[in-house]
Structure 1
């Protein structure tokens, strides 16, 4: 019934008539065939005999622009054109076109330029409850509500004056029997030169009802009958618009974003049908929670299923985080009771991310990202709980993500640098070696220490190219010190190696290539692996460690004493050094239980002494980390530690500072 130039009639709120403007040119193919035929019939028909009505007999000229013109034959595809006639002719019998107008199933009426009904067909009378002759002389706009809004009223008058080709709009009318119905109204000129217009009224109630049902199906979840993701985001976007917090509301918005814990196991073991019934039961409880939360308030929270086992409760005009916290608690409580599904008792819990903030300055995307992040925190913190969005925690997460995304490119751009911390002989205080410590000169976050990015590099695999660069740079620097200080005993360089470097690259080949390229002797290179990584070594890692040891490279276990501490591995691994974890050395400063403040605890000293003696028995050297005081250094020296590392001797420094320390004593 509509052409491509006009578009479909938009969905309209039942409480307010809507108007759809038409094109400025007539398009016969876009109107109902009955309307086109009737318009041609009325335009082409000669004057009909006078009729009697409430307003008296109607003139024959009422339905035709020129009552005295001679009729011209007209077909279904063209509009009649009447040449002016000087001599009036007697009326002819009513042609079949007028019969078609009268019997048409589409309600139609001819309206003059003053907006008064000239004549109507039987369908029009049936639709509005009366005989067609009863409407003659009545204002057509009042019958079909064309003046309720200024836009429609203006368009209607433009059509009457000939300044507009057509008006098409939808209206909600009341049928004589009392029920409401939706109609589509079309007002168009009767003929190019006619002073009258044709008003047609089509009942579109069935179509509107179908559209409403389709919209409901499109915006609601078939399993739970809750609003779906589409409708949820429509409501969320509307709530975030400026008008939503400029009409006396709180100006705030809250969201509980929840995910069922362990729901996948229900689907996998009991089937999707049982899973769907469980989702429907969960939806009922969430709806009850929302209704209770909305008691005494303007509106209840919107409950929606966003997909899978994810639900959301949207609180418009929230009063603060306490309101959202109470809602989240009520949801957790409501889900605690078991569900009776298909003869089985099923128990589920939920993790909930809670976000509450000012509506101004936020967006639907930002709100959902915050809710999703907070939901992840709730699951990571142990599930079956709710977690409130924390801006600081989120900032750390965003920083972490920014570092991950730029790690590989940073290696290629050369944003990393090495600093070196001395390893000093406990017996003579001379510099024996250095540990290479990588720093990231980040353009945005400044200088970052390894604890900020090494774990991230191990996760995404960028530790392999980064570790290869560290190895080459450290060996090249150690060789340069050796050449610059030929009179001093050469110092070794210790480089940390991640287990992933052993698995994802040929570490043995990389080390051999670097040593050959730099000219550094193998015994001047020490590779450090953590205790947890070394103690479980088997297969390829163990083979690599043995190959490196056979090459002459020293292998050290870092942070010894905090991992497995499986001493049986020490006799089977090609290890040459142990680095005691700093917690033991720091324990030297702790007071003994029940003792005097400032006195060291003897337990840590006994443990360190035992580990040092065991290591020496196995032919291993021992390095104590985190040495900060001379008292610690003297006690470690008495225990028998070979080397010390810590701020007592030096913080990590540049290569030039190491050159200055060569030959000095502590």
Structure 2
């Protein structure tokens, strides 16, 4: 079918009408004469254009002819009467015709819109993407354009219009429509405001904050006119929960509103965004920050503002805040990372004593991340047997003979390498992994001690194993020890369990009962790091303890090359005499020189442990020391 390229929307109907009648058209033109232009039809009075054509009587269509479609005047009437603002435009985007609704929308007579650029009327040039899509529709490379534009009415008010441009079927013309959606946009705006703002404080809520934060990061990263940096103060009220619980949520909400007001006042000079993220958590976002000093100064002003008492519902209330401060370049910064850093720094502020601000420290954060990584993999590491035991000799100070060994656990970490106990034992105690780890250490040490006993039956070694208090509380230590001794065949008297002084002194209930039962089994009990805790000497007589291990801080005062402290020697001598009167043996830790060993032996210490004799070594090296003198085997 041949596609007619007419100048407006109505050519096709007029042509069909003349084809049916075979007579001149309604304006006196003979068949084949030139079709009327849009200007000529516009010259027809509007009342005539608006008059609908009379319907032909039924059965009046000549045989062999086609029933006529609606007359051009029908389309004209519909076009003019339509409530939807419309215009017919050509392929160059020039307005050919406009209906009264469009004129009313734009505040102009329809005839004055003819020959105007549709792009100018609909403000399509401002947005490059919209302009490109509009040109594609005019050139036939795109079937339809639909966009929303904010237009300015001649009387000064703004309106929102939904713009649609699409081809007219069987025509080279395009139809432009503009639907006024201002009321809908206003309603959507009000609904969005309710969705994006906190009802208690009227501040932006969490959703709007993250939306603004993402936009700020993107803008700061690519806008060369700004500083390219971003800052965040993340704060939490100290003691708010107590106020909420005692005075009620109504007072708590009013207090939050008062806090929000003061935060807004602090942020106002710089135009910073203040948001309530939930509960008693607030955030102040600094776009295009000038450096850490700007954020620190903002944090200081917030603390000062919140220190003033609040008068709420007849109550005079005082609160403080802990603030985490983060400031960094926006490029390469992700929203998630920034909030994690802020949250971590806020935690540091609370941990450091509250009512303060703390600046993000990458090194401190790296240490925290490492601790978290270790903590989360401790239990699987025990199951994968990533741990090994080294042993450090316990040597008689008088004869230099190896009396026993202390089992010291190391973690062969696949990422961080070999880790000493001070890197992970405290983590294991925090998350409970110390129970399965301690059980593994105890079993491994007892198995090794049994092997030494069988290899050297005349020189059996006592193996000393450290036990955490949590092992006593969270597991049946007595049952574990009994089962492991039975499994390995190690005699109980060759096992010594070490507990710290702070854990043993003052023990009562379950811990004390466990120690008594272990002692009844024949297992020796030692107090590790003695002299650094409670030092409740009178309590020693009530505990089933067999050995005191003096903390290395006492032994350090025995160094002859440094100025020895006579008081240290006096204290150690008194402790040794007291221990011997109670039937206890004494081991000195951290012996690093022959001079220290000699002086300790002179005042009566029984055994020594330290680098002077040997560093912690694998079990095969201990075998060479049994019955010999560790200092003569190449140990430092």
Alignment TM-score > 0.5, same fold = yes
Cα distance in structure 1, aligned partners of 2:392 and 2:72: 116
Please, which of 613, 622, 625 is the counterpart of residue 649 of structure 1?
Answer: 613
> Does the residue aligned with 1:588 lie in a helix, a strand or coil?
coil
- 1:551 equivalent to 2:521? Answer yes
Shift of the alpha carbon at 1:94?
Answer: 6.4
Cα distance in structure 2, aligned partners of 1:448 and 1:549: 32
Most deviating of 208-217 and 452-461: 208-217
Most deviating of 399-408 and 625-634: 625-634
The answer on whether the counterparts of 1:112 and 1:197 sit within 8 Å (CA) in structure 2 is: yes
> Does the residue aligned with 2:558 lie in a helix, a strand or coil?
helix
- 1:287 equivalent to 2:264? Answer yes
Please, which of 58, 61, 68 is the counterpart of residue 42 of structure 2?
Answer: 58
Residue 372 of structure 1 aligns with which residue? Answer: 343
Cα distance in structure 2, aligned partners of 1:205 and 1:625: 83
Cα distance in structure 2, aligned partners of 1:363 and 1:152: 30
Shift of the alpha carbon at 1:382?
Answer: 0.7
Q: How does 1:349-360 map to 2 (within 5 A)?
A: 349-360=320-331
- 1:250 equivalent to 2:252? Answer no
Q: 1:655 to 1:406 in 2, by over 3 A?
A: same
- 1:236 equivalent to 2:213? Answer yes
Residue 481 of structure 2 aligns with which residue? Answer: 511
Cα distance in structure 2, aligned partners of 1:580 and 1:93: 111
Shift of the alpha carbon at 1:493?
Answer: 0.9
> Does the residue aligned with 2:549 lie in a helix, a strand or coil?
strand
Cα distance in structure 2, aligned partners of 1:84 and 1:316: 77
Shift of the alpha carbon at 1:477?
Answer: 1.6
State the Cα deviation string for residues 328-379 of structure 1 (Å, max 9, x = none): 1111111111111112111111111112222222222112211111111111
Residue 540 of structure 1 aligns with which residue? Answer: 510
Please, which of 499, 513, 528 is the counterpart of residue 498 of structure 2?
Answer: 528
Residue 470 of structure 2 aligns with which residue? Answer: 500
- 1:216 equivalent to 2:193? Answer yes
Please, which of 395, 399, 404 is the counterpart of residue 370 of structure 2?
Answer: 399
Residue 439 of structure 2 aligns with which residue? Answer: 468
Shift of the alpha carbon at 1:426?
Answer: 2.3
Residue 352 of structure 2 aligns with which residue? Answer: 381
Cα distance in structure 1, aligned partners of 2:67 and 2:591: 126
Normalised by the length of structure 1, the TM-score is 0.80
Please, which of 564, 574, 585 is the counterpart of residue 544 of structure 2?
Answer: 574
Q: 1:270 to 1:566 in 2, by over 3 A?
A: same
How many residues are treated as equivalent by the alignment? Answer: 600
State the Cα deviation string for residues 60-93 of structure 1 (Å, max 9, x = none): 699999xxx998999xxxxxxxx9989999x999
Q: 1:341 to 1:425 in 2, by over 3 A?
A: same
Normalised by the length of structure 2, the TM-score is 0.84
Q: 1:84 to 1:290 in 2, by over 3 A?
A: farther
Residue 327 of structure 1 aligns with which residue? Answer: 298
Q: 1:63 to 1:195 in 2, by over 3 A?
A: farther
- 1:603 equivalent to 2:581? Answer no
The answer on whether the counterparts of 2:16 and 2:68 sit within 8 Å (CA) in structure 1 is: no
Q: 1:415 to 1:113 in 2, by over 3 A?
A: closer
The answer on whether the counterparts of 1:45 and 1:71 sit within 8 Å (CA) in structure 2 is: no
Shift of the alpha carbon at 1:137?
Answer: 5.8
Shift of the alpha carbon at 1:607?
Answer: 2.1
The answer on whether the counterparts of 2:165 and 2:175 sit within 8 Å (CA) in structure 1 is: yes
Cα distance in structure 1, aligned partners of 2:272 and 2:247: 32
Cα distance in structure 1, aligned partners of 2:72 and 2:461: 124
Q: 1:573 to 1:415 in 2, by over 3 A?
A: same
> Does the residue aligned with 2:253 lie in a helix, a strand or coil?
helix
> Does the residue aligned with 1:315 lie in a helix, a strand or coil?
strand
The answer on whether the counterparts of 1:245 and 1:252 sit within 8 Å (CA) in structure 2 is: no
Q: 1:111 to 1:554 in 2, by over 3 A?
A: closer
Residue 634 of structure 2 aligns with which residue? Answer: none
> Does the residue aligned with 1:362 lie in a helix, a strand or coil?
coil
Shift of the alpha carbon at 1:231?
Answer: 2.3
The answer on whether the counterparts of 2:221 and 2:331 sit within 8 Å (CA) in structure 1 is: no
Structure 1 residue runs without a partner (length 5+)? 1-37, 75-82, 295-299, 591-596
- 1:362 equivalent to 2:346? Answer no
State the Cα deviation string for residues 381-413 of structure 1 (Å, max 9, x = none): 111111111111111111111111111121122
> Does the residue aligned with 1:414 lie in a helix, a strand or coil?
coil
Cα distance in structure 1, aligned partners of 2:46 and 2:175: 13
Shift of the alpha carbon at 1:108?
Answer: 3.6
The answer on whether the counterparts of 2:231 and 2:325 sit within 8 Å (CA) in structure 1 is: yes
Shift of the alpha carbon at 1:213?
Answer: 2.0
Q: 1:443 to 1:611 in 2, by over 3 A?
A: same
Q: 1:284 to 1:614 in 2, by over 3 A?
A: same
Please, which of 610, 614, 622 is the counterpart of residue 578 of structure 2?
Answer: 614
Residue 389 of structure 2 aligns with which residue? Answer: 418
Shift of the alpha carbon at 1:656?
Answer: 2.1
The answer on whether the counterparts of 1:128 and 1:175 sit within 8 Å (CA) in structure 2 is: yes
Cα distance in structure 1, aligned partners of 2:90 and 2:596: 110
> Does the residue aligned with 1:613 lie in a helix, a strand or coil?
helix
The answer on whether the counterparts of 2:220 and 2:227 sit within 8 Å (CA) in structure 1 is: no
> Does the residue aligned with 1:375 lie in a helix, a strand or coil?
helix
The answer on whether the counterparts of 1:45 and 1:98 sit within 8 Å (CA) in structure 2 is: no
Please, which of 460, 483, 490 is the counterpart of residue 454 of structure 2?
Answer: 483
Residue 34 of structure 2 aligns with which residue? Answer: none
Residue 565 of structure 1 aligns with which residue? Answer: 535
Cα distance in structure 1, aligned partners of 2:221 and 2:57: 62
Cα distance in structure 2, aligned partners of 1:662 and 1:628: 20
Residue 638 of structure 1 aligns with which residue? Answer: 602
The answer on whether the counterparts of 1:351 and 1:378 sit within 8 Å (CA) in structure 2 is: yes
In angstroms, what is the RMSD of aligned CA positions? Answer: 3.9
The answer on whether the counterparts of 2:17 and 2:71 sit within 8 Å (CA) in structure 1 is: no
Q: 1:61 to 1:558 in 2, by over 3 A?
A: same
Cα distance in structure 1, aligned partners of 2:381 and 2:523: 29
Shift of the alpha carbon at 1:103?
Answer: 4.0
The answer on whether the counterparts of 1:70 and 1:85 sit within 8 Å (CA) in structure 2 is: no
